[in-house]
Amino acid sequence: MTRRGPRRTGRGRPQRPKDVLHGPAGARGDAFRCVGCRLDVPLAAPGTAHRNHCPSCLVSLHVDRRIPGDRAAGCGGRMTVLSLSVRQDGEWTLIHHCLTCGELSANRIAGDDNALALIRLALRPLADARLPVRAMLTL
C-alpha cells in the first residue's frame, strides 16, 4: 500500500508555475519573511513550486484563495497549521487555518520543511489517550 520512491511519476500534469511579486512595492523579490518567526524564506523549495509556508515554523499568510499565487484573498491574516492530511498517492498535505477569518486551506509539504514539526503534528492525535485509542485496544 505504501508507495515509496519518486512520488511525481504518477502525476498527470506538472505543477503550474507560481508567479507572484514578493518584494516591497511590487518588486520581484525572491524571498518572503515569515510572519511567525521572521525567518527569511527563499521561494525556491525542493519538491514543490508552491511554497506558501515557513519551513521552520510552518506558519503561512492568507493571501491566496484557490490558485497558488492568485493573491485573490483580501484577508491577509496569519494562518497556523491545523492538521496533516495524506493524499491517495501518499503525499503529506498541511491544512492551514486562518486566525483572522477561519478559512482552511491545503498545501503540500516542501522538502525542507521542519521534520520535527511535521512529526509533532502527525503525532498529535495519538498523543492524547482518548476513546479511539481504547477502541483500537479492544479489537
Partner 1 sequence: MSHDNPQHRSAMSSIDTFTCVRCGLTVATFAPDGGRRDHCPSCLHSRHLVDHVEGGPSDCEGRMTPVSIAVLRTGDWMVIHRCVRCDELTSSPVRGDDNQLILMRMAVRPLAQPPFPLEAFGDL
Residue ranges that bind partner 1, judged by CB under 8 A: 1-3, 66, 82-86, 90-92, 95, 97, 102-106, 109, 115-116, 119, 122-128, 130-133, 135-136
Nearer to partner 1, 39 or 75 (CB): 75
Q: How far is the CB of 134 from partner 1 (least distance, A)?
A: 8
3-state secondary structure of 25: helix
Neighbour count for residue 114 (Cβ, 10 Å): 15
In this structure, the chain runs to a length of: 139
Nearer to partner 1, 31 or 104 (CB): 104
Extract the C-alpha cell encoding 13.
500534469
Taking the mean position of all CA atoms in its chain, how far away is CA 82?
Answer: 10
Q: How far is the CB of 119 from partner 1 (least distance, A)?
A: 6
Q: How far is the CB of 27 from partner 1 (least distance, A)?
A: 31
Nearer to partner 1, 8 or 40 (CB): 8
Distance between CA atoms of residues 72 and 64, nearest Å: 5
Residue 62 per-residue DSSP state: S
Nearer to partner 1, 21 or 72 (CB): 72
Q: Do residues 54 and 69 make contact, with C-beta atoms less than 8 angstroms apart? A: no
